[in-house]
Amino acid sequence: MALPNRLNILVVEDDPSIRELIAMSLRDAGHHVIERTALNVKDSVDGRAVSLVVVDCNLPGKAASRAQIGRLRAQFPFASFIAISGYFPAHAAGHLQLADMLGADGVLGKPFTSDALAALVAALVTVRQAQQPQR
């Protein structure tokens, strides 16, 4: 079964202006967006209904960021994850290794464009669709 074009995306970002920009970009692309901070992420979010989590890893250490993503993965076990941070390099070189180290499916270094976010979301949807059994 293919994923619908409209995803339920959870954005976890503590900076309200950045969270709003990310959410607006994703809504403009046709997705349903749930906005949360790291402190209120557990409030009234059904983990089974979330397809993708965009999470700010505002911690400079990879171990702390991996732990943060691990906690969210336990809460949202069926979701793909995009980690974003100003601590990540802006260029794409090494992003696959960084995503693997963090336990994310993709990473974006801040600042990033709406087009870069949309491209990564589309790539993750394609991967998810390819992994689903054919009927």
Tens of pLDDT along 21-77? Answer: 999 999 999 999 999 988 888 776 776 789 999 998 875 556 677 788 888 888 888
Q: Is residue 27 part of a domain?
A: no
| H helix runs in 12-61, sequence order | 16-28
In the sheet with 80-85, reading across from the earlier edge strand, the strands are: 32-36, 8-12, 52-56, 80-85, 106-109
**Dihedral pair phi/psi, residue 106, rounded to 5°:** -165, 160
- Residue 50 tokens read as 């979330």
- Identify the domain containing residue 81 by its residue range: 8-17+32-40+49-131
Q: Is residue 23 part of a domain?
A: no
pLDDT of residue 117: 95
Q: Is residue 70 part of a domain?
A: yes
Query: Within 13 A of 85's CA, how many CA atoms are on the CB side?
Result: 22
- Provide the whole-model pTM: 0.84
